[in-house]
Amino acid sequence: MKLFIYIVSIFFLFNTLYSKDMKEEQIKVAYTYNFMKNITWQNETKIDKYRLLIVSKNKTLENMFLMLAARKQLKDKNLEVLVYDEKKDYKNIHAIYIDESFLEIYEKLFFKYEKENTLFISDNFEDKKQVMINLLKEETKITFEINKANILNRSLEISPNLILLGGTQIDVAKLYKSSQDALKEQKETINTLNQKIENKNLELTSKVKAINDQKSVIDTQTKNIKNYEQKLSIQEKLLEKQTKLLEEQKAQLEEIYKNIEFQKEKLSNAVLDVNEKEKVVESLIDLQKEKQQEFERAKKDLEFLNLQIQEQKKNLLLKEDVISNQKNIITIMALLSVIIIFLGLNGIRQNRLLKNLSQTDTLSGLYNRRFMNKKLEEEILKYKRYKTPFSILLLDVDFFKKINDTYGHDKGDFVIKKISTLMQQNTRDTDISARWGGEEFLILIPNSNLEGALTLANNLKQIIENTDFTTKEKITVSVGVSTFNENLNQEDLLKLADNALYKAKNSGRNKVEFA
């Protein structure tokens, strides 16, 4: 009888889904409800209510889901519908409906909720490898397709009745083959790029070698120029000596002319000595001719030296131009070296900045969740080796949603920043504070037992309660405390702190509890 009623219900559903008067939004809402109805989660008996996250800009669709949750139950339990807000961090989500208006964040959400075994219901998503249940529009008809492998990977069980709703199964083997082909094509592209990089490296090596060879040539030419300058200096000194010698010879010639005149006067007075004087005169004339010839030769040598000096000056000017060009090349090379060094230093600074950003929460200025998880692992290893005790505080701002709704998100951000500052100012230098998510904070307290952790928790609670946040009501926090021991692991420690926080919330908030 129950099977008959179920088949009649499915038939009625099909008849309703494909009626011409029903809107597409109603069909999608009905499909989503029945998808969740025919999926079984792990430990489903422990689920108090099912949580469905709607990721869509379609306000009509959002309202229909909200109306569905208000009017109907899912498997005799309440259905809670949440509308996606990128500023919020959602936990314990059983299913997500995401349409094509948010396809750019599909992959991010798909992997974020992988550990929570969340069912993904996508709308017109093209990448079949990452879909679980994908709605399709074929002309005027809404259908769906199922990637059974992805659903089973999330430890979800599929009811055979889900196939009866009219969906088709995706050929996973065919998808895998297309992925392998794409991977092969990417590998070939990478090999091509590596070959181009290797060719560029060879070209760069060749250019560097050419530059070094050019530098060697410049050094050789510089040495040659210095040698030419030394030779030119020696020749200039020799020329100065020859010029001085010619002047001395000229002075001697003038003295000889005077002697000749003197001898002529003597000849007129001493006829007897004419023959002897003529011989002397002839000898003097011969000597004069020799000196004249030497003078002419010295003059020609001087002119030749002047010509050589002029040519060497021209050569020197040409070499000075070459040296100037080579100096310009060297200057450019030096500037390029400075630029390369500057870029390298800038890259180091950027790497340091990226490292800081990767471990810091931008809003609060505290460490982020990933960095805190790493520190918890290190502290557990220290405990196992040295038995050094440590504790953690998990703080949550009371009625934070009300603060955002009443004063706006700017005031909510201000509260987060203010509490972060108070935590940094009122903890030890060895304590590590992090924004755990949303309005939650986690403080790691090394070398602290439960008593010390409770003292710090109560101090922080009191300080925050007495701080003026420029709101009508006081801003308070609830705190859960847990201390590590050899019977716990990291997950157990966090779970204990979370349970203590839950206890503080349920007992009236603005309290400290431990587990």
Rounded (5°) CA angle 363-365-367:
110
Q: What is the pLDDT of residue 475?
A: 96
Query: Which DSSP helix (H) or strand (E) runs through 451?
Result: helix 450-465
At 371, list the tokens.
Answer: 């960095």
Three-state secondary structure call for residue 236: helix
281 or 217: which carries more pLDDT confidence? 217
H/E segment holding residue 50: strand 49-55
Specify the pLDDT at position 465.
96
Task: With H, G, I as helix, E, B as strand and everything else as coil, classify residue 489.
Answer: coil
What whole-number distance in Å separates Cα of residue 484 and Cα of residue 394? 14
The candidate with the shortest Cα–Cα distance to 499, out of 476, 515, 477, is 515
Cβ–Cβ < 8 Å for 273, 267:
yes
Strands 141-146 and 133-138: antiparallel
CA–CA distances in Å: residue 104 to residues 89, 130, 145: 18, 13, 20
Which residue has better confidence, 245 or 476? 476
Banded pLDDT at 497 (limits 50, 70, 90) = very high
Domain ranges for the chain, please list them. Answer: 2-170, 219-356, 369-514
* pLDDT classification of 319: cutoffs 50, 70, 90: low
How high is the pLDDT of residue 198? Answer: 79
Token couple for 121: 């219901």
Structure tokens at 291: 């000196």
Among 196-205, 246-255, 413-422, the range with the most confident prediction by mean pLDDT is 413-422
Q: Which residues contact 188 (CB under 8 A, 6 or more apart)?
A: none
Residues 6+ apart with CB under 8 A from 103: 125
- pLDDT for the residue numbered 13: 46
Amino acid at 64: M
Under the banding of pLDDT at 50, 70 and 90, the label for residue 2 is very low
Checking if the pLDDT of 180 tops 80, the result is no
Q: Please check whether residue 379 is in contact with residue 392, taking contact to mean a CB–CB distance below 8 angstroms.
A: no
Q: How many residues does the chain have?
A: 515
Whether pLDDT at 355 is above 90: no
The per-residue pLDDT for 10 is 45
Q: How many CA atoms lie within 13 A of 376 on its CB side?
A: 26
Q: Domain spanning 369-514 has what CATH number?
A: 3.30.70.270
Q: In CATH, what number does 2-170 get?
A: 3.40.50.2300
Confidence band for 343, pLDDT divided at 50, 70 and 90: low
Quote the pLDDT of residue 360. 93
Sort 54 into a burial class: Cβ within 10 Å, 0-12 / 13-18 / 19+: buried
Q: Is the pLDDT of residue 162 over 50?
A: yes
How confident is the model over 468-485, as pLDDT tens digits?
999 999 999 999 999 999
Per-residue pLDDT of 68-122, as tens digits, reads 988 989 888 899 999 999 898 898 899 999 988 888 888 888 888 888 889 999 8
Express each pLDDT in 369-401 by its tens digit.
999 999 999 999 999 999 999 999 999 999 999
Give the residue-averaged pLDDT of 258-274.
68
17-29 confidence digits (pLDDT tens) = 444 435 788 888 9
pLDDT in tens, 181-223: 555 665 666 677 777 777 878 888 888 888 888 888 888 888 8
